[in-house]
Structure 1
Amino acid sequence: MSEELEIEFKNLLSKSEYNELLNIFNAREKDFFSQENHYFDTADSRLRKLNSGLRIRLLPQSAELTLKTPLGLHLLETTDQMTLEEAHAYLAGSTIKKDGMVGRKLTEMNILIEDLRIIGSLKTVRFETSVPEGLVVLDKSTYAGKLDYELEFEAQDHHEGLDFFNQFLEKYAIPRRIGKNKIARMKEAMDENERNVKP
Structure 2
Amino acid sequence: MAQEIEIEFKNLLTEDEYEKVYHFLPFKSVELMEQTNYYFETEDLNLKQQGAALRIRQKQGQWTLTLKQPHAEGLLETHDSLTEEEANLWIQNKMTEKPHVSKQLDDLGISLENLHYLGSLTTRRKELAYKEATVVLDHSLYYDKEDYELEVEAGSKETGKKVIDEILHVCNIPNRETDNKIKRFYDRKRLQSE
Give TM class, smaller chain.
over 0.9
Aligned to 1:186: 185
Correspondence list, 1:26-65, <5 A: 26-28=26-28, 31-65=31-65
The number of aligned residues is 194
Please give the alpha-carbon distance, in whole angstroms, between the structure 2 residues aligned to 1:28 and 1:160: 24
Aligned to 2:137: 138
Asked whether the 8 Å contact 2:80–2:98 carries over to 1, the reply is no
CA spacing shift, 1:155–1:100, aligned 2, 3 Å: same
Quick one: which amino acid aligns to residue 72 of structure 2? G
SS at match of 1:31: coil
Cα distance, 1:95 vs. partner?
4.0
Quick one: which amino acid aligns to residue 18 of structure 2? Y
Q: Which moved more, 1:146-155 or 1:75-84?
A: 75-84
For normalisation by structure 1, the TM-score amounts to 0.91
Asked whether the 8 Å contact 1:134–1:154 carries over to 2, the reply is yes
Cα distance, 1:8 vs. partner?
0.4
Please give the alpha-carbon distance, in whole angstroms, between the structure 2 residues aligned to 1:27 and 1:164: 16
Quick one: which amino acid aligns to residue 149 of structure 2? E
Cα distance, 1:89 vs. partner?
3.0
CA spacing shift, 1:164–1:29, aligned 2, 3 Å: closer
Please give the alpha-carbon distance, in whole angstroms, between the structure 2 residues aligned to 1:131 and 1:106: 35
CA spacing shift, 1:97–1:135, aligned 2, 3 Å: farther
Asked whether the 8 Å contact 2:89–2:95 carries over to 1, the reply is no
Please give the alpha-carbon distance, in whole angstroms, between the structure 2 residues aligned to 1:83 and 1:24: 38
Aligned to 1:113: 112
Please give the alpha-carbon distance, in whole angstroms, between the structure 2 residues aligned to 1:95 and 1:55: 14
CA spacing shift, 1:13–1:95, aligned 2, 3 Å: farther
Correspondence list, 1:143-158, <5 A: 143-158=142-157
For normalisation by structure 2, the TM-score amounts to 0.94
Aligned to 2:167: 168
Asked whether the 8 Å contact 1:98–1:104 carries over to 2, the reply is no
Please give the alpha-carbon distance, in whole angstroms, between the structure 1 residues aligned to 2:129 and 2:108: 35
Question: Please, which runs of 5 or more residues in structure 1 have no aligned partner?
Answer: none
The two structures, once aligned, show a CA RMSD in angstroms of 1.6
Cα distance, 1:81 vs. partner?
1.6
Asked whether the 8 Å contact 2:24–2:171 carries over to 1, the reply is no
Aligned to 2:5: 5
SS at match of 2:109: coil
Residue 21 of structure 1 pairs with residue 39 of structure 2: no
CA spacing shift, 1:135–1:96, aligned 2, 3 Å: farther
Quick one: which amino acid aligns to residue 43 of structure 1? E
Q: Which moved more, 1:57-66 or 1:94-103?
A: 94-103
SS at match of 1:55: strand
